[in-house]
C-alpha cells in the first residue's frame, strides 16, 4: 500500500523522495507576531528605542534616530522628500502606520502597488513601505535604472516565510514524480519569494493576489486538471470553494512530512493542493467575534479578507482584498455599520476617513501585522537621508535568472487576467 511506502520507505525510496521528514520550523516573524498586540493603547508612533523594547529583532540603524520624537521624524521626512523631488517615489501598503501612509505617493494593496511600481519610469528610487516580497516584486517589474529600497530590511511576511524556497522545490519535484504527465498548474500568492514566483513562471504557472485569485484559478483550470497553491491555505481553500470545488478534493501539503503527509492516491485524486501556510493576522478572526458583532448590532455588515479561515469567510457577508474592503466601505451609505476582519491600521484609517459610519475591527485586541509595523518612520527617514548623502541602503535586488521567470508569472497575471 502507498501509505506503508511513506511510513516505512526503503533506502532507494527515501533517496528518490525530495520531501523527507523535516524538523518543523516556525519563522521568527511568526513567533514575534504578537509583540505589539495590546488591549489598552493606541498605535501612535513612539521613539524607535521604546519600540525596540518589545523584544523584536528589527534592523539596527544609527543611534541618532533611536530617540527622535514623531514630529521631528515627520518634519525631516518631508524635507528629504522635497529635496529628492521626482527622483523619488514612495509606495505605501494599506497596512502601514498612518505616520508612514501620509508620505506615500501611492497607497494600495499589493496588486495596485506592483502596477504603480511598473509605471514610475521617472523615479530613480522606489522606497517601498510594505514588506519584503512586495519590494522584490517592484524590483522585478521596474526598469533597470530604478532601485528599490525596503526601509527596514527585516520587514518580511510571516506567511511568505512559511514557504521556504527549498521546501517548495522539493514539494514540486515530489508531485511531478507522482503525477507524471498529468498537468498541474502552480499558482503562487503575491506573498511569496521571487524564487517561488520564478518556479511558477517556468512551469506554466502564474501569480495571484487576493483581488484576482478566483479569476487566476479559472485561468489555471483552463490549462490543467489540478492546481497547487502557495503559500496561504486559507486563500486557496476559500477560492476553491468559490469555484465549487468540494472540500474533500483539496488537500493540505505539510512541508515537514514526507510527501506532504499524503499517499500517492490522495495526491492523484486532489484537484487543489494547498501549501500549509497562513497569515497570523487574519487567522485571529473567528466566528464567535462575528456572532458577538451581530448580536450587538443587528444591522451590521461583516466584511473580511479571504486570508481568514473558511468558517469566518462563510459567516461573513462579504469577503475580498484590502482594495475591495476599502471600496465597499467608502461607497456605503452614511449610517451603515461595518465590522471588519483585516489588519487594524487599515480598519482604524477607514474609521477615521468615514466618520458618518460605524466601523470597527472584529477583534477587540489591537494586534497589528508586526512585520508591516516594522516600517517605523525612523527607517523611512534614515533611507531618505542616506539617499541625500548619495548612498542607497537596503536595496532589494532579484537576480536576473530568477527575475526573468518570476516576471513571466507576474505578466501572466497582469496581462492575461
Distance CA 97, CA 349 (A): 9
Whether the CB-CB separation of 73 and 385 falls below 8 Å is answered with no
Which of 192, 193, 321, 383 lies at the binding interface for ligand 13P (CB under 6 A)? 321
List alpha helices for 158-286, DSSP H.
158-161, 165-179, 194-202, 213-221, 233-242, 264-269
Residue pair 382/61 in contact by the 8 Å Cβ criterion? yes
Work out what residue 270 binds among ligand SF4, ligand 13P, none; the CB cut-off runs from 5 to 8 Å by kind.
none
Which of 216, 260, 258 has its CA nearest to residue 235? 216
- Residue with smaller CB distance to ligand SF4, 282 or 407: 282
Ramachandran quadrant class, 248 (left: phi over 0; alpha: psi -120 to 50; beta: rest): alpha
Within 66-105, the residues that bind ligand SF4 by CB under 6 A are 95
To ligand SF4, the closest distance from the beta carbon of 93 in angstroms equals: 8
Contacts of 176 (CB under 8 A, 6+ apart): none
* Binding residues for ligand SF4 restricted to 148-207, rule: CB under 6 A: 157-159, 191
Q: How far is CA 3 from CA 231, 257, 268, 284, 400, in A?
A: 25, 12, 14, 34, 41
Window 3 to 62, contacts with ligand 13P (CB under 6 A): none
Q: Which position among 74, 198, 322, 371 is part of the footprint of ligand 13P (CB under 6 A)?
A: 322
Among 51, 139, 161, 307, interactor with ligand 13P by CB under 6 A: 307
The C-alpha R_g of the chain, in whole angstroms, comes to 22
Say which residues have a Cβ less than 8 Å from residue 86's Cβ, sequence separation at least 6.
122, 123
Cα 70 to Cα 102, 108, 347: the distances in Å are: 13, 24, 22
x-marked contacts with ligand 13P along 208-227 as a string, rule CB under 6 A: -xx-----------------
Q: In angstroms, give the least distance from the CB of 132 to ligand SF4.
A: 9
Residues 83-142 that bind ligand 13P (CB under 6 A): 109-111
Q: Is 396 a residue that touches ligand SF4 (CB under 6 A)? A: no
Q: By rule CB under 6 A, what string of x and - marks binding of each residue 11-40 to ligand SF4?
A: ------------------------------
Q: Using CB under 6 A as the criterion, what x/- string covers residues 258-287 for binding ligand 13P? A: ---------------------x--------
Q: Which does 136 bind (CB under 5 to 8 A by kind): ligand SF4, ligand 13P, none?
A: none
Pick what 309 binds: ligand 13P, ligand SF4, none; C-beta below 5 to 8 Å, kind-dependent: none
Cα(286)–Cα(209) distance, integer angstroms? 23
Please state the separation of Cα 179 from the chain's center in Å. Answer: 29
For residues 276 and 52, what is the distance between their CA atoms, to the nearest angstrom?
Answer: 31
Instruction: State the binding string over 314-343 for ligand SF4 (x if CB under 6 A, else -).
Output: -----------------------------x
By CB under 6 A, name the binding residues for ligand 13P: 109-111, 190-191, 209-210, 279, 307, 321-322
Amino acid at each position: 500500500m502507498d501509505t506503508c511506502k511513506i511510513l516505512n520507505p526503503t533506502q532507494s525510496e527515501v533517496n528518490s523522495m525530495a520531501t523527507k521528514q523535516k524538523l518543523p520550523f516556525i519563522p521568527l516573524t511568526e513567533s514575534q507576531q504578537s509583540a505589539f498586540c495590546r488591549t489598552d493603547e493606541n498605535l501612535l508612533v513612539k521613539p524607535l528605542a521604546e519600540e525596540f523594547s518589545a523584544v523584536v529583532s528589527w534592523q539596527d540603524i544609527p543611534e541618532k534616530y533611536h530617540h527622535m520624537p514623531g514630529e521631528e521624524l515627520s518634519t525631516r521626512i518631508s524635507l528629504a522628500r522635497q529635496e529628492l523631488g521626482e527622483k523619488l517615489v514612495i509606495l505605501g501598503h494599506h497596512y502601514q502606520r498612518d505616520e508612514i501612509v501620509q508620505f506615500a505617493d501611492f497607497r494600495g494593496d499589493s496588486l495596485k502597488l506592483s502596477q504603480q511600481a511598473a509605471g514610475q519610469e521617472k523615479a530613480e528610487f522606489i522606497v517601498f513601505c510594505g514588506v519584503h516580497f512586495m519590494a522584490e516584486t517592484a524590483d522585478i517589474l521596474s526598469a533597470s535604472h530604478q532601485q528599490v529600497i525596503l526601509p527596514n530590511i527585516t520587514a518580511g511576511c510571516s506567511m511568505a516565510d512559511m514557504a521556504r524556497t527549498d521546501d517548495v522545490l522539493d514539494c514540486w519535484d515530489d508531485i511531478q514524480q507522482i503525477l507524471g504527465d498529468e498537468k498541474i498548474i502552480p499558482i503562487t500568492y503575491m506573498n511569496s519569494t521571487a524564487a517561488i514566483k520564478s518556479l511558477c513562471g517556468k512551469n506554466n504557472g502564474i501569480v495571484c493576489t487576493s483581488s484576482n485569485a478566483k479569476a487566476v484559478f479559472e485561468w489555471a483550470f483552463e490549462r490543467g486538471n489540478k492546481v497547487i497553491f502557495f503559500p496561504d491555505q486559507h486563500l486557496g481553500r476559500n477560492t476553491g470553494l468559490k469555484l465549487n470545488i468540494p472540500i474533500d478534493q483539496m488537500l493540505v501539503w505539510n512541508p515537514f512530512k514526507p510527501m506532504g503527509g499524503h499517499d500517492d492516491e490522495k495526491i492523484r485524486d486532489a484537484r487543489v493542493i494547498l501549501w500549509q501556510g497562513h497569515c497570523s493576522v487574519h487567522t485571529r478572526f473567528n466566528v464567535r467575534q462575528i456572532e458577538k458583532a451581530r448580536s450587538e448590532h443587528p444591522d451590521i455588515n461583516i466584511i473580511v479578507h479571504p486570508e481568514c479561515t473558511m468558517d469566518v469567510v462563510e459567516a461573513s457577508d462579504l469577503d475580498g482584498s484590502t482594495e475591495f474592503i476599502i471600496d465597499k466601505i467608502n461607497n456605503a451609505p452614511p449610517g451603515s455599520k461595518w465590522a471588519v476582519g483585516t489588519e487594524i491600521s487599515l480598519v482604524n484609517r477607514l474609521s477615521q476617513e468615514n466618520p458618518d459610519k460605524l466601523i470597527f475591527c472584529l477583534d477587540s485586541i489591537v494586534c497589528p501585522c508586526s512585520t508591516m509595523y516594522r516600517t517605523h518612520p525612523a527607517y523611512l527617514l534614515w533611507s531618505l537621508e542616506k539617499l541625500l548623502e548619495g548612498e542607497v541602503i537596503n536595496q532589494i535586488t532579484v537576480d536576473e535568472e530568477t527575475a526573468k521567470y518570476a516576471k513571466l508569472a507576474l505578466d501572466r497575471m497582469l496581462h492575461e487576467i
